[in-house]
Amino acid sequence: MIQDIAPHHYDVSYHTERTPARRSFLVLVSREGVLFRATDDGFTLPRFADFETESLPFPSLCQKARYLFAIDDDFFFLLPASALPAGKLGEGYRFLGPTELRDLKPQHLAFAAITSTQLYRFYDQRKFCGRCGEKMTHSEEERAMCCKHCGLIEYPKISPAIIVAVRDGDRLLLTRYAKNASDYRRKALVAGFVEVGETPEQAVEREIMEETGLKVKNIRPYAVQPWSFSDSLMLAYTAELDGSDRIRLDENELCEASFVPRDEIPDNPTTASVGNELIQRFKRGEL
């Protein structure tokens, strides 16, 4: 999965005292994705030394940067898109979006980029207090945005969501999102956010019923995955069909849903998501 970056070590400890070195990684996020620099064998995140020019000197870059986290001995800093001179990319630079980042190598840099987008959205969407409207400031003690006027503290958005592999013997329930619900076009498992006041297991039952009209039993936890693409914490489960296999499709969420025999499940080599791991493990007879 995307967070499995061993032997590299991810350290998300909050450090306001850390400042960039020229070898530190620079993460520039826009609506188009994350800025990468082309190399002979693919792409890499740029370092401050790569971006330094006469019109954009290193001290100026440092003033605009905010520390995010470390991987091994490398520090990663967020830089606003406005730091680009006249909004133009230099030669060899390109913004990579979510689809490209899923399978990008090396994986620890893909994980860094994806995680950075979640923090970017947090900082970008918490500029003003949601209670009194005053400007928010960065906490000196923890990763949070604070309102000095009314005292409100906002933390990064992490929404629990379930994803579930529903089995019926040698068949697996596979769905495809409706075009208005998601840009992801491959076969997928039933998934959805946990609502206020319900347990993840109750969310599994509700989401399956709402989207397909099916009942399930023997709901068992499988794994947990941070999923920064949607500010989520994915709680993965397996379950078994309970009763009729007649599907009543929620066409607002899905355009397709069916039980697919094990040997007809399409190959999907990506290792990014826990959902695809569940599908491929079922295909191999491991679930």
Q: Which of 169, 168, 192 is nearest to 250 (CA)?
A: 192
- Domain shared by 116 and 199, yes or no: no
Structure-token pair, residue 159: 């929404």
Residue range of the domain that includes 139: 127-157
Structural domain ending residue among the three candidates 136, 157, 178: 157
- Domain shared by 95 and 206, yes or no: no
Alpha helices in the chain (DSSP H): 48-51, 58-64, 98-102, 107-125, 200-212, 274-283
Residue 147 to residue 138: CA distance in whole angstroms: 9
Structure-token pair, residue 181: 């619900």
Residue 4 to residue 107: CA distance in whole angstroms: 8
Q: What are the two backbone dihedrals, phi and then psi, of residue 165, each rounded to the nearest 5 degrees?
A: -95, 110
Query: Is the preceding omega at residue 221 within 30 degrees of 0, hence cis?
Result: no
Q: Is the torsion defined by CA of 180, 183, 187, 191 positive or negative? A: negative
> In the prediction, which pLDDT does 181 show?
60
Give me the residue label for tokens 């009763």.
243
- Domain shared by 273 and 170, yes or no: yes
- Domain shared by 54 and 74, yes or no: yes
> In the prediction, which pLDDT does 179 show?
74
- Domain shared by 36 and 142, yes or no: no
Chain center to CA of 136: 25
For position 39, which CATH number holds? 3.90.79
> In the prediction, which pLDDT does 102 show?
87
Asked whether residue 2 is domain-assigned, the answer is: no
Q: Which of 172, 258, 179, 145 is nearest to 211 (CA)?
A: 258
DSSP tally for the chain: helices H, then strands E: 6, 16
Residue 145 to residue 136: CA distance in whole angstroms: 6
- Domain shared by 194 and 272, yes or no: yes
Cβ partners under 8 Å of residue 32, min gap 6 = 95, 97
Residue 64 to residue 43: CA distance in whole angstroms: 24
Asked whether residue 1 is domain-assigned, the answer is: no
Structural domain ending residue among the three candidates 109, 125, 141: 125
- Domain shared by 177 and 272, yes or no: yes
Residue 121 to residue 158: CA distance in whole angstroms: 12
Ordered DSSP codes for 81-123: GGGSGGG-PPTTEEEE-HHHHHT-SSHHHHHHHHHHHHHHHHH
In angstroms and rounded to an integer, the radius of gyration of the C-alpha atoms of the chain is 21
In tens digits, the chain (287 residues) has pLDDT values of: 989 999 999 999 999 999 999 999 999 998 888 999 888 888 999 999 988 776 678 888 898 899 999 999 999 999 887 777 655 667 788 899 988 898 899 999 999 999 999 999 999 999 999 999 999 999 999 999 999 999 999 999 999 999 999 999 999 999 988 877 666 668 899 999 999 999 999 999 999 999 999 999 999 999 999 999 999 999 999 999 999 999 999 988 888 999 999 999 988 877 789 999 999 999 999 99
